[in-house]
Structure 1
């Protein structure tokens, strides 16, 4: 009996030892991936102090009948992990969150909770984006009807959906009244309700490590000054046309040119150089500055104050105005803490779209214009001393080969500038798109020990390179690889390969060396 007990004890110890060893192996792999992400200076960093490249996609539904939730199960998030997504911009809609003034929709929030958990299960972080298009559910998505004070003005649409920003008196008036904080029927200012809603959300997720931050408003629009912006742009284009041709275009000719998609495409050819584009788009600067420096900055500060009362952990993502999408230089600034000091946990959440977005020519974006837009974003990020996250770009929706060069051009800019990014947007057919499989799903340095100096995918040569300078000897560098089977085993023999289940994708875990060491990684995909 004693021998049996002793043998049993030995067996139990052995089993425990093996269990610990198996757990140790699992823990080593999991420890290579972070638990949370924050901001340090002008970089995103993880809890191991590594520089982070946020690589992701927008996920959401603008459909009220779907409850403003993208209809999928956990398999979506498992697939996104296989495709190298480490962050999603998750759309949340005011109309769904607050169907009545001061009444929050717990069922909708529980659905959001579930998606956040599915993301967490797959090592994916979440930025919550308060989304709107044309301000309201009455015209597209965003604010509830009770917060839409359009004063009965007419709603006018144009050749493409976003033209309504510039044409619809109803949309413009609704924005005007939001910025003026006009009271709804219950007597409370609608902007005050918006601020209180953000505090409610922040309180809910204050201790959630998967949620890394809050994108305070999608593409803020100034309101009725949109009419003035149209006149400025048409006038600037007329000046450029005269400068190039000597021909004077009347207001009627300019308006007619812009009202039809085909003639608009012809006009866009004229501003397909950086010089011509700058001549036209820069003339909006003063108008946009007036809005951003006054109304938008004030709203951002109020929302930030409300969030910081309940949450001092998460990143506040600040977008430029709607006009910043196309390269108008932004005038937004960092928000402050209540003691007046600069809030350190802030990021610049720019969007970058060529003027052909939402048209049939979206896949033919002009490289010069896109380059101009992304350079404006880069300069603003440097001025703000914040990390940059391009929360929207792309929107190609086309599976032809013509998209590939356009996607490569924009991805190259994202890599050159070390931007975080979230492609717009996930659809049920995105994973079948050739540009998604060939370009968007690519190798990238997800978590870098020290300072990431550069990285690049050469899609023609099928190579990936990165350079970095290490800052400690503890944290490994983690590189996402979409096709492990295409790597030469000799080239990665000194690294650990952590394969993602049920896929050919995974991570290269590169052990750290001495702090200050400059390192280079070169990979060829055969």
Structure 2
């Protein structure tokens, strides 16, 4: 200090000031760690049901795409929590955003861990669930909760069984006194739903609200499920921050409902009407009482209603149920059972393979007056049918994007319709790293795959603590319309994975030349004058500086940063840095707009391509 004062006293004050300025500038230029992107003013908009679409408070049509956050949730290893700790939860959420561009997840919880003893709610479990949900909402990812079950409960199964389940707590199963389980010669775990008497009896008792004698006195099964669900929802409402709770979309009351067995004269549609629909109405009441009145119930029909394997297929799909209306979402699953069998469909999926299946889901939702979501879909990424996975996933996402196959899309774009929301099964960073004692048997430790009934579905795994993909990134990090300021008229995306199905017609040579061998997407929409813009997710394979957008709003090669003034621009998405979206702004009402996005070679001019697209888009006027 004395030396410093001497330095000052010698008239060196100016030199000190200059030194301080240099130090300050140097500090400012240091490479600070990247921080999450700050949300734009429309990113936290409330999302709800409007007719047969999701819309936000600005009237924009919303498409939800992402994964099931299951991981450990179906296992006992971490007592039903998806993650061992918040470090893993945050790493998983960040990887999900970075590697897939997901804007929504289905987050699993399990009755067995919520209520481990009759009438006792495990507050520690709910606290951990609450905290792990925030790992995703902190990324700007929307969440819908799923009360999950498979084969009713793991506690129905013997220690040496070939299969296991998840769902109901041990005390409930023991009070039920169910017969010893056996599926016989079942080649897939799902056959237990029809062949295993212990499973079918327990499920039947659930729907008929059987009264059981427990240490807490007589308890009716279905009533008790509603009790624990209400307590869970109330806890989350009270303990999530308002900002995090705002990003919760709603609840899936029960995963994959089925009857167990029907009463005399009963069928799938009448079972849905007489037992499932009243249950959903009761669940809806619990949501309202718990502070979730403005959130949707994502209700599932009979799980077999759209199975493509004759053995499993049963009529259903809420054909005997009244219109669901604005407080419900028609929530269906779809798996290609024929492809998974390896026998019923020996080849790979083709162009348009699932457009009819997914159009059926769309049509049921429209007839019920609610939006649709495919909350589970996918295919094994390992095993004897895994060679089909790339083509199956490509075809399933194609069917989510459009009603029309790739070959016919340009000529039949008027039939394309809206993009469909969906959550792929699934996202498990612990894939191939589990340590699950199957049915509590220390001699059956499951470590491979998903550690659940020999399944291999996870799109992600850890490689030396770093998340890496098990699938081609082009299949899951896709262009999709996150928000449309009006109504989608047509959408398609050619990801160039496996094979190119969507071929630009010879009548559009300039568009074909512009795209080249690159990936491309086309969106057409009718504007509703929303003050918030249309947003399209930009995959990592589309670098903003080399992306071309040809739109009636203005053709651009190399996207400028969004400041609120540009009709076509790029902006970061909420959460993990490096995830981008194209912003398409217009303030008119009723006008038809279009945009083609391409990461093909940067063209010297877009004039000819714009003229071709303008002529093509005239069909929507």
TM range (shorter): 0.7 to 0.9
Return the index of the structure with the highest Cα Rg: 2
Secondary structure of 2:590's counterpart equals coil
Relative to structure 1, the CA distance from residue 29 to residue 160 in structure 2 (aligned partners, 3 Å threshold; closer, same or farther) is closer
1:352 is the counterpart of 2:334: yes
Q: Is the 8 A contact 1:56 1:423 kept in 2?
A: yes
Secondary structure of 1:30's counterpart equals coil
Structure 2 runs not aligned, ≥5 long: 1-35, 158-164, 309-313, 404-418, 432-458, 461-467, 501-516, 549-555, 561-565, 601-621
Report the Cα offset of residue 84 of structure 1.
1.0
Q: Which residue of 2 aligns with 1:505?
A: 579
Q: Which residue of 2 aligns with 1:274?
A: none
1:490 is the counterpart of 2:557: yes
- Aligned residue runs from structure 1 range 70-469, under 5 A: 70-71=82-83, 72-82=88-98, 83-138=100-155, 139=157, 140-148=165-173, 150-157=176-183, 158-185=186-213, 186-206=217-237, 208-225=245-262, 287-310=267-290, 311-326=292-307, 328-332=314-318, 344-356=326-338, 359=341, 370-398=354-382, 402-417=388-403, 418-428=419-429, 430-431=459-460, 432-433=468-469, 435-459=471-495, 460=500, 462-469=519-526
Report the Cα offset of residue 344 of structure 1.
2.1
- In 1, distance between residues paired with 2:211 and 2:471? 47
Relative to structure 1, the CA distance from residue 434 to residue 342 in structure 2 (aligned partners, 3 Å threshold; closer, same or farther) is closer
Report the Cα offset of residue 307 of structure 1.
1.9
- In 1, distance between residues paired with 2:64 and 2:395? 19
- In 2, distance between residues paired with 1:465 and 1:363? 33
Q: Is the 8 A contact 1:34 1:46 kept in 2?
A: no
Q: Is the 8 A contact 2:178 2:202 kept in 1?
A: no
Report the Cα offset of residue 342 of structure 1.
6.5
Structure 1 runs not aligned, ≥5 long: 1-25, 229-284
Q: Which residue of 2 aligns with 1:276?
A: none
Q: Which residue of 2 aligns with 1:263?
A: none
1:48 is the counterpart of 2:32: no
Report the Cα offset of residue 318 of structure 1.
0.6
**TM-score normalised according to structure 2 size:** 0.66
Q: Which runs of 4+ in 1 moved over 6 A?
A: 333-336
Q: Is the 8 A contact 2:51 2:325 kept in 1?
A: no
Aligned residues, how many? 440
Relative to structure 1, the CA distance from residue 95 to residue 434 in structure 2 (aligned partners, 3 Å threshold; closer, same or farther) is closer
Partner deviation per Cα, 1:413-444 (whole Å, 9 max, x = no partner): 11115211000111236244464511121011
Q: Which residue of 2 aligns with 1:517?
A: 591
Relative to structure 1, the CA distance from residue 298 to residue 445 in structure 2 (aligned partners, 3 Å threshold; closer, same or farther) is same
Report the Cα offset of residue 30 of structure 1.
1.9
Relative to structure 1, the CA distance from residue 47 to residue 477 in structure 2 (aligned partners, 3 Å threshold; closer, same or farther) is same
- In 2, distance between residues paired with 1:151 and 1:473? 58
Relative to structure 1, the CA distance from residue 453 to residue 334 in structure 2 (aligned partners, 3 Å threshold; closer, same or farther) is farther
Report the Cα offset of residue 360 of structure 1.
5.8
Q: Which residue of 2 aligns with 1:258?
A: none
Partner deviation per Cα, 1:464-500 (whole Å, 9 max, x = no partner): 1101111125111111101331513616455232235
Q: Is the 8 A contact 2:153 2:168 kept in 1?
A: yes
Report the Cα offset of residue 110 of structure 1.
1.0
Secondary structure of 1:133's counterpart equals coil
Report the Cα offset of residue 366 of structure 1.
5.7
Partner deviation per Cα, 1:213-243 (whole Å, 9 max, x = no partner): 01010001101349x9xxxxxxxxxxxxxxx
- In 2, distance between residues paired with 1:370 and 1:160? 22
Could you say which structure has the higher helix fraction?
A: 1
Report the Cα offset of residue 512 of structure 1.
2.4
Relative to structure 1, the CA distance from residue 119 to residue 333 in structure 2 (aligned partners, 3 Å threshold; closer, same or farther) is farther
